[in-house]
Amino acid sequence: MQAQPHILVVDDDREIRTLLGRYLDGQGFRVSVAADRRECEQKLGAGQFDLIVLDVMLPDGSGLDICRSLRDRKPHIPVILLTALKEDVDRIIGLELGADDYLGKPFNPRELSARIRAVLRRSAPEESTPPKVRVYHFAGYRLEPDTRKVVDTEGEIVDLTGAEFDLLQVFLDRPGRLLSRDQLLDLTQGRERDPLERSVDVLMSRLRRKFAEAGEGSLFKTVRNGGYQFTARVETVDVEP
């Protein structure tokens, strides 16, 4: 990540673009703005970005379609969706498509800035390399926290979003332990809980699907009214970076 993170704000509301551009610039970010999907694609083709703040409703297309396309073309760029407060289905679909976080409108720019920093911290390797790096081995896979990769025995990388990687590492740090949805939210996102929050369920579904496609479908156990449990054996090894 660059010393001054470059943020792309995509929203058709000129006042919101102006407000966020000025506020985030004052918070130490480099900011570019786009009013619609066409301008967003132009910006993405011309520059490098560390994170995208993306409105779901755009005049020439859906932000959800852009999110889906980004996961195929630029899977390592985090996305924060801006959605209407009552459109819970947009939030769920966005998470299913690979968004790293969402924020309902209207919102406080200070909260958006805090969420941007949190997502960037989760998405980027640590700047200072420790003397030893902990590597996790489970069910024929290797998780590398420093490179934020999960690799199988053939050396193939399992394509995980930043949020999926964080959730998996929470389980690997607590093998065999039953973790409730509230605990998983606290450990991965640390934000106020919504009674209708389904992000953990969405992420669990995506993790199960991706490991099933890779040939391993029984890593997680669902305990009714209890939460989720990682069932595979986990070994940790400290190696030289």
3-state secondary structure string, 73-86? HCCCCCEEEEEECC
Query: How many helices (H) does the chain have, and how many strands (E)?
Result: 8, 14
Distance CA 146, CA 53 (A): 25
- Per-residue confidence in pLDDT tens, the chain, 241 aa: 446 899 999 999 999 999 999 999 999 999 999 999 999 999 988 888 999 999 988 998 888 888 888 888 888 889 999 887 565 666 777 777 778 888 888 889 999 999 999 999 887 665 555 567 789 999 999 999 988 999 998 899 999 998 899 999 999 999 999 999 888 888 886 544 444 445 788 899 999 999 887 666 678 999 988 899 999 999 999 877 6
Tell me the CATH number at 24: 3.40.50.2300
CB 64 within 8 A of CB 94: yes
Residue length of the chain:
241
Residue 1 placed within a domain: no
* 97 and 11 fall within a common domain: yes
What is the chain's percent helix, strand, coil content, to nearest 5? 40, 25, 35
Give the residue carrying structure tokens 């209708």: 196
The SS3 assignment for 194 reads: coil
Q: Strand pairing partners for 221?
A: 229
- Domain around 183: 133-239
Q: Which is nearest to 141 in space by CA: 171, 99, 176, 180?
A: 171
* 30 and 88 fall within a common domain: yes
Q: Which two tokens stand for residue 59?
A: 């005049």
Say which residues have a Cβ less than 8 Å from residue 14's Cβ, sequence separation at least 6: 35
* 139 and 97 fall within a common domain: no
